[in-house]
Structure 1
Amino acid sequence: MESAVKSGALLSLEDLHPSSPFFADGLQEYSSETALAIIVDGSAKLKVNTNHLRDLSFRAGSIYQFIGELHIHQPENEAILQARVGRNVDGIDLNLYHQSLQLVRQFQAERTGNRMAQ
């Protein structure tokens, strides 16, 4: 019997660091031979396996958004996102996007806190 896929969480690359609970369990480089992309946001980097994506062309310097499962490979503690969905989001206001992530998290924390208080 297959296990159900857990719901996702909105993350920025800066959220993915070894002390992050998400780590525990703009495109810089792309190889069409391996279908691996390396995306960068500030000082944070992440490898993205894009072998399931179709009809998405990659350009260095462009901004992309992905949805998928994060896999941590041991013993090097390397994170690779297995992308299921990806899109080019060139033109997005990244500062506004990061602010919206903070607001969503704040709202979710308040909702979770309200449920626990009931």
Structure 2
Amino acid sequence: MKNLVDNMIHKAKVTYNQANAKMKERFYDMTGTTSASVKEIADFIKNHPDSKLNKKNYLGLQFSFYKMELRGIHYYLELKDSSILQVDVHDQNEQIVAYRSYRDKYSLHTPIKFPALEK
């Protein structure tokens, strides 16, 4: 019985987060607010020619650390194999994005208010 209740609670949370992401996406589209998902930001950092890559191997797992500064904005991406563990974007005055896979409730595809990504 406890398993059934736990599954129902989990499904409700997932459904709520998906609905929240869709509402945000529509709101940003309607208002013309630029946004990007954590996945899009991570791909931008990973594929940008100015990104500095540092790879480490711990206990047989491959970790990749990307750092970049672009027009006064600092970008940081941490991957385990190909899974996104951490994404940070900040300028001198404020944190723009702080994503941690182990604690954040939104998915990698939830839109976040973010300045347009330019290569």
Higher helix fraction (1 or 2) = 2
Higher strand fraction (1 or 2) = 2
Kindly indicate whether structure 1 or structure 2 has the higher relative contact order, using CA contacts under 8 Å at least 6 residues apart.
2
TM-score (norm 2): 0.29
TM-score (norm 1): 0.29
The structure with the largest alpha-carbon Rg is 2
